[in-house]
Amino acid sequence: MSVQSNVEVHTEWGIVSARQAGRNLAKEIGFSTVDQARITTAISELARNIYLYAEKGEIIIESVEAMQSTGVKRGIKITAKDKGPGIKNIRQVMEDGFTTSGGLGAGLPGVKRLMDEFDIDSIAGEGTEITTIKWLS
Ligand SMILES: Nc1ncnc2c1ncn2[C@@H]1O[C@H](COP(=O)(O)OP(=O)(O)OP(=O)(O)O)[C@@H](O)[C@H]1O
Ligand SMILES: [Mg+2]
């Protein structure tokens, strides 16, 4: 079974909708309320970055499964995609406190800590795609 929501992020409303969609799916998959909060926080940070730096983009929320020795594990995968300015130095943006907007620079390092898997794919001038997964333990 695969469930997927695509939420366009172009306004503050998009950020709210992405959070809501993430919370609903996380609950359905069986995440605890604490993990639901971690997942919605991660979605907020990614959506806010799209809104701030790329102006618009998309958050894709889906359930994923993986085989392991003890059976099938379930998880939630969040993909944040935009065709904004891209990120030149990925290592730099993953440092705590690095910001180009006078923010806290805590967003991306925070998302990495909240989730289990984290990957940035970005080309300067073309856009950014960030993929992150949390597994149900
Ligand atoms: N989608 C994106 N496109 C282009 N640049 C981005 C994108 N997301 C993040 N960045 C760059 O990475 C930097 C770090 O992002 P991060 O979310 O960690 O911190 P912040 O947004 O500056 O502050 P905070 O999220 O703590 O309010 C940003 O300042 C911005 O330069
Ligand atoms: Mg941010």
**Atom 4 of ligand 1, residue of closest alpha carbon:** 86
Mean pLDDT, 10 residues at a time, the chain of 137 residues? 86 96 97 98 98 98 94 96 97 96 95 98 97 96
Nearest Cα to 111, choosing from 92, 131, 89, 88?
131
Q: Which run of H or of E encompasses 106? A: none
Nearest-ligand number for the alpha carbon of 110: 1
- Predicted model pTM: 0.96
Q: Which residues contact 21 (CB under 8 A, 6 or more apart)?
A: 5, 7, 59, 61
Q: Is 84 in the pocket of ligand 1 (CB under 6 A)?
A: yes
| Pairing of β 71-82 and β 127-135 | antiparallel
The closest ligand to the CA of 56 turns out to be: 1
